[in-house]
Structure 1
Amino acid sequence: MNTGDAAMKPLGSQDPDQLGRYRLLAMIGRGGMGQVLLGQGPDGRLVAVKRIHRQFTGNPEFRARFRREVLASQQVTGAYTAGVVDHDAESETPWLASEYIAGPGLQDMIGEFGRLNLSGLKLLATGLAMALLEIHRTGLVHRDLKPSNILLTNDGPRVIDFGIARALEDDVTLTATGAVIGSPAYMSPEQAECRTLTSASDVFAVGAVLAMAATGASPFDAASTPQVLYNVLYSSPNTSGIPEPIRALVDACLAKDPSARPAPEQLLDAASRIDAEPVWPVRIRRRIADCQAEAGRWADGTASAAAAIVPAQPKSKWARLAPAAASVSAVVLAAIAFWGVGVEGHAVAMDDPPLALTDDETRRLDICALLDPSVLGELGTPVGEFVPSGISGCTIAYRYQDGRKVSFGLETSNSVAEMRDDKQPMGSTINWMPVYGLYKESASCDRMVLTQSGLPMVLNMSASSYPPAGDLCPAAERALATVVRRLSVNPPLRTFPPGSLLPLDPCALIDIAATRSSVGDLIRSSTPHGCALTGADGYYSVDITDRVRPDNITGGKVRQTRTIAGQTVYLDASGPEYCTFIVMVMPTRDDQAEQVRATYFSTAPQARGHCETAADLLGPVLEKLPPS
């Protein structure tokens, strides 16, 4: 679906006034598959609502693709990507809503203003590398990264449209065997040949996008699609017109061999070393401000009133506002007022390196050490002892200089979906990571960020006091910022005993094929010590932690046991739609041990019980565990 560069228009007589909880304000764009509408939530936030044309809703394959888009978009968020905030994929006319990005598309800006300067290219390269880190860590490959799927904001680019994104484990084709899905001028050679894709395919697309932004044209451009595909497969692109600091990076991304391309981490490192301030040209910053003002007028009703009174007049190329470019995927950004900088202002350079932890470091983090006075000492003096909460949380109180006693808690067990469902962007950033929370002001407040590389990890800092001691949201955000700074320099790590489960990757323990057959087409969501595979028919999750033994809990309750794969497991809970097993491994104290907690949930009717399916899925997990 492509809306070109037209400005938003009033709703038509056939357009709904409301979808879900969102009041609809204007038409952003219309395409062959559906329409995208500007909406406003009950809290005033603007959203872009993607609504599918009725004639496609009876096609099971199309509905399945739409569900995949919803699942994929829900997993991806961060400073340079975004995800869905609400949806109804099962309604008569399916729709999804995402927070609205008031910014023009890269394709339109290059077409109107010409190629980017070195500063703009650095900001583009850095943002796209950060976006790939976010997309790929969810187990997805975007598959359609092109200039029209990149929106520009003052903070950097935003990658949108996950309509054909697929899990890396999945087959490349969405339709008939041999069908080519994607945009020929920006697809990788392996995608053009319908081979199985890896994350390197998106890196190739980044190279093609950077070449286009630096020269004004795709490096594989030709008069016909077959010739474009031939160039992608066999021709060496001419990159001589690209500025030298960017040229080597583009050449590396455009290697025909996927294994020869840089990883997104290497792409980010190379882009950060370019000697230029990462900022858009002033004309693009002006256009971004125009887009923000246009969206604001629709939100307060002045744009719709003017459109109803004033006849449409031909617009100059400069006056064509580009918020319509946001329509293709209806993507995430919070209230636009939070993100703007002045028309003549300067974007802030990325002086602080982005937080980057290896997978092993993420799983070994000593959470209590991150609340130590060596980290939070600027906030006050610690009072009492650390109170651990399993492997992923810790709490301690600090006394401020004014005498207030504030309890700080740090958790890393929240999932990306939980953060998106419960929190909203606050408008600030820490190391270029958007800060999320529930309240702007509160006597009991939390602030969180989602790390931009490595394993998905939500860092959730809470601040509370009893009795209540005023607004603690600034304290929570300040504490979170100090933790991020420490993690960027010298993360404190735990040492686990031999045979411990805690350093393991839970996703690697799961039989992917068996899980897919039970829950359907998979989208992966993980935390440092957990993995959830979600499909149209349910989900299966495996979490590793250290908890109280299930056969020795308060009240003397003894749980049922059964034998699976030669091991004794405990039935933790079961119901009409779910079943949860607990496996105790390697006791650490008399009443505690590391444990594997596995849950199977299904919405599809089954001929046998859910616990039988849960047992079948748990068997391969147990076989991969180290001996206890």
Structure 2
Amino acid sequence: MTQPLGPDDPVMIGGYRTLAKLGAGGMGRVLLGAGPDGRLVAIKQIHAHLLDGYEYRARFRQEISASTRVSGAFTAPVIDFDVDAAQPWLASAFMLGVPLDRVIAEHAPLPVPAVRALAVGLAVALHDIHAAGLVHRDLKPANVILAADGPRVIDFGIAKLNDASGLTETGAALGSPAYMSPEQALAEPITPASDIFALGSLLVTAATGAAPFAAPSMAYTLFNIAHSEPDLSRVPEQLRGWIAACLHKDPRQRPTPGQLLDHLGRLPGGDAPWPAPVHESIRAQAGQLSGIVASPYATQVISRSGRHAGLATGTARPGTVAALRARRGRRLGLVAGLAVLVLTLVAAGIAVLVKPEPAAGQHLPEPGLAQLRAADPCAWARQSLPASVPDGSGFAADTSSWTWAQGDEFGCEVKSGDASLWIKVGESINLASTATGATADGFPILADTGAAYGDVCYRGVDLSGSGGKWGIQFQVHPSTSCVLAQQILSGMITTRHRIPVHPDRATLAEVDPCALIPREQLDPLIGPLPQQPTTVTAHTCVWDGTDSVRTDFELLGKSGGSSSPVDLGDGVQALIDDSDDGVCYLDYVYRTVGDNREVLNLIVDGLQSGDKTKVCATAETIMKTEIGRLPKPK
């Protein structure tokens, strides 16, 4: 709800008379204003305390420069700004219309023509946004206005440039949980395809009245986005196919805005096919606007903004509301109907910002499984080597003589003479929860359980933060190398926010095994299942029901085993080992890289039935589904 201007709010920002306060947040305050020509604008003014460093202002300037290139028919354009003001601000055109979230709450499910028109308008908007080099990252019903002739995308508050500039964001998973993409939920790199996933979720909500991944808690919602397939049974059949394509877990498989438009066509001229009450509300708002613009307080201006003066001048502010009241002895106000009107703004089209680099001591988001899947463990360890190799470690003092190779479970194997080190990233930490007493950047360093492992030392750190028991684990031989292992592990933890990415982005290691088959498809086969998998690591997913299903990825040599080929149909072959009673093992060679094979491994354990034939039939059904969901090998 709108609020009157407070005593400390400015009367003028640039050449815009302020009329009311629309809201405030961590980044700044949002005000309703009127321009020199009477146009209403939404103005975002940045908090002064965020501007202590040059980098934040430079980032703000960079992002505004990009946002001004977005001038499509279905976005709220930036029309003025002053980056060099004491408190930088940005004004965007006011969009007359009704917020989509309110329309959904009052009128969902929307009819098919309305959903199709919504999809076309938003696809055009995303095309324009992406063409400007931006990713919106927060496309949701509250950030869409239904105008009379079509939708408008607003609020680029957490948009970012789609590049690798040092001024862009650190990679935090920003966005509204129910409309995040799997990449955002897993804190993976964000691309324009993330906006397409959000579009799919938004359209499901419009077509059914319910967000497809929403759950009672944010954690469950994010899990659903990353690992569960949506129930689209309530989506009208003529919409279901292309909406499902937008919701593909693999961003590379989602359509582009252009491909959507090729399929859907363009909006016809005239009014959009919104429900009749929406058009009635828009007409009522237009009548209220005429009274607001006629107010002298809505049209008084005293100067042009810094933008029109080459960004050389600051914001012209003759005084605060308190000072104006003292001079005039009266309050500034709005007509009663404005309370309804400004709910449609929600900071319409306001500043394109990026989250500033965290200040010293500020918490950074911890790396999740997605980052660990994409990591290059050998490069990460190499950049974490100590200044000198401890005496007696068994490893040569000259680290350039060490050999480094990718190991099984996509880890790293390091050798120096008879000494060896195995590093696993994102896998289960099978170590004692009691720590060694040492820590790495606040994380307890864990050791082995005390069992006799021979001349071997184990060290690890649990990065899951939730009892998931996954992180980084070292196995080093001889045990005299333990000090060295702990030093490298500490270095990796210290640099965990700068993890090197493996150069082979087509590797099976980057695939989420839990995404290969949704719970809804597994439940009829081995259910009843719990709401979440029993075990989730970077390369392993385990579901336990009447039977147990374990999916994991391995990196194996070319040498074969005792498995026999089995035809899964459609020309797909796997290797099967059913030598154990009640347990069926299936392997599928995803691709061969050099002397190694990337393998999808499936184990189905008939915990109750023990019927080998039934268990292997279930395994083959699951394996075929999982293979069909794998990215095409490159």
Could you tell me the TM-score, scaled by structure 2's length? Answer: 0.46
User: Which protein has the larger Cα radius of gyration, Structure 1 or Structure 2?
Assistant: 2
Structure-1-length-normalised TM-score: 0.47
